[in-house]
Structure 1
Amino acid sequence: MKYMLLVCGDDTADAAGTAPVEPWVEDLGDRRVRLHGHRLALPADAVTVRVRGGEVLRGDGPFAETKEYVAGFDILECDSLEEAVEAAARHPVAAVGAMEVRPFWEDEDAETRIRALDAELTGAARERDLDRMAACYAPDVTAYVDGREYRGIDALRKSLAERFTGPGGPVTREVLDHRVHVDESIAFAHALVRLRAAGTDGAPHHALTRVTTGYRDVGPRWLIAHEHVSLDLLDTEERS
């Protein structure tokens, strides 16, 4: 389970003797307990935004006037709350400030959502539905297909139209191998994909491609932000 670790500094405490944080970061990173994190600027650089009665109210400084402030954050993946607390207690700032450990809101895991997106792309390709296919991509997507670069969703749609419109029946898109690596708001995948379809000339066309995909978490869903498609080899299954 993922936990957010809020590192709360205390501007009245003497932090001169605080141990360096790098050994803590390196140790938890090597064990894949710490997934991500960063220091934050001081409270003097903060801006607090409120909306009241439709008016945007902007105030300089943090939300609460207190001697303690959020100095940074870390995202941990632990088997239990106790393990997360133990990791927090080892953070050097725990000796002079405070560490807030809060579980992430439980939701469907990212890899499941990414695989569901790939299944949607497969279904849209089968129906030759360009709108559904394009909806799987980010507006600023960059794609490389057989050595040609397509920047932006409009350029990619033209490429999809060239490959998936015209006479013929459904397109068969078979993912033979799909390896996904997720790291918070971005993910990468490598796949071997077999495509079978009738081309614009009515003749059957078969291709085995290697696809490298970069995904971005845009909030309610993941989208494809980068795609590299290359012809791998002749479909030996079709030749035999």
Structure 2
Amino acid sequence: MKYMLLVCGDDTVDASGMAPVEPWVEELGAERGVRLHGHRLRLPADAVTVRVRDGEVLRTDGPFAETKEYVAGFDILECADLEEAVAAAAKHPVATVGAMEVRPFWDDEDAPGEIRRLDAELTEAARERDIDRAMACYAPDVEVFHPVSGLEQSGVDALRKAAELWFAKLAGPVHREVLDLRLRVDESVAFGHALVRTRATLVDGGTLDTTARVTTGYRAAGDRWRIVHQHTSVPFSGDLPGTGGDRS
């Protein structure tokens, strides 16, 4: 489960003897994978509070509440339960001079499930040879390395042209089978690593049957996920010096 850790400083406390934060970030992030990301915030004097009353935008310089304690930064934690999150917060150096507020995220979101449904949509679009349906899975500014042309396609319009050329070489439905999909999901960004088998009949009567390694970057845009980066590596029919047998 994910937790928001609000790092609360206290401007009345001398923090000169506080331990550095970097070791905590290293342990919880790089070593244990509990801290997903976080950042410091500028001081309350740089804050702007915005309210709307009767259609009028009211802007006030400074924090929304005058208090000696203020939010100095935040961290996103992924923990098994609240007790693990509290233990992580207790290790934060600011806990010795300020306070740490641990607040769980709402648990009604299923980002991995949404991304897997997006991948299933690509499979169905390939089977139906529906380019519009496939392109709807991609963000307008997507960057894709297309294995057929061997070129990087920037933007969904360029990707559409590459997909049209690819479908022109194929006859009938395209069978796309995801053999393995591993996801790492953050709040608005996710990465997927998969083995994808593609089978189809070529217009010249031949057959296509290849398994590729696909690395995909996803971004949450509004209320849906879309693909913003995709890199596909397919095997060569023969080995070339320095390629390791892959075209990537």
- Fold shared, TM-score > 0.5 on shorter chain: yes
SS class of match (1:124):
helix
- Matching residue within 161, 165, 171 for 2:164: 161
Deviations 1:126-164 (A, max 9, x none): 111112211111111001112211111111111122223
Q: 1:208 matched to which residue of 2?
A: 211
- Mapping of 1:1-240 within 5 angstroms? 1-29=1-29, 30-146=31-147, 147-164=150-167, 168-200=171-203, 204-233=207-236
RMSD between superposed Cα atoms in Å: 2.2
Q: 2:246 matched to which residue of 1?
A: none
SS class of match (2:173):
coil
Call closer, same or farther: CA 1:192–1:79 in 2, change over 3 Å: closer
Cα distance in structure 1, aligned partners of 2:23 and 2:193: 33
| TM-score, reference length from structure 2 | 0.84
Cα distance in structure 1, aligned partners of 2:159 and 2:51: 39
| TM-score, reference length from structure 1 | 0.87
For the 8 Å contact 2:170–2:200, the answer to whether it is kept is no
Report how far residue 166 of structure 1 moved: 7.8
For the 8 Å contact 2:169–2:202, the answer to whether it is kept is yes
Unmatched segments (≥5 aa) in structure 1? 235-240
- Paired residue type of 1:104: F
Call closer, same or farther: CA 1:53–1:169 in 2, change over 3 Å: farther
For the 8 Å contact 1:167–1:202, the answer to whether it is kept is no
Unmatched segments (≥5 aa) in structure 2? 238-248
For the 8 Å contact 2:178–2:195, the answer to whether it is kept is yes
Cα distance in structure 2, aligned partners of 1:27 and 1:207: 41
Call closer, same or farther: CA 1:14–1:218 in 2, change over 3 Å: same
Cα distance in structure 2, aligned partners of 1:79 and 1:210: 31
Call closer, same or farther: CA 1:190–1:90 in 2, change over 3 Å: closer
For the 8 Å contact 1:209–1:233, the answer to whether it is kept is no
Q: Identity percentage over the alignment? A: 71
Deviations 1:99-149 (A, max 9, x none): 111001103443332222111111111111112211111111001112211
Aligned residue-pair number = 234
Report how far residue 39 of structure 1 moved: 0.9
Range with greater deviation from structure 2 (99-108 or 168-177): 168-177
Report how far residue 6 of structure 1 moved: 0.2
SS class of match (2:172):
coil
Cα distance in structure 2, aligned partners of 1:116 and 1:102: 29
Call closer, same or farther: CA 1:78–1:179 in 2, change over 3 Å: closer
Q: 1:237 matched to which residue of 2?
A: none
Cα distance in structure 2, aligned partners of 1:179 and 1:28: 22
- Paired residue type of 1:25: V
SS class of match (1:168):
strand
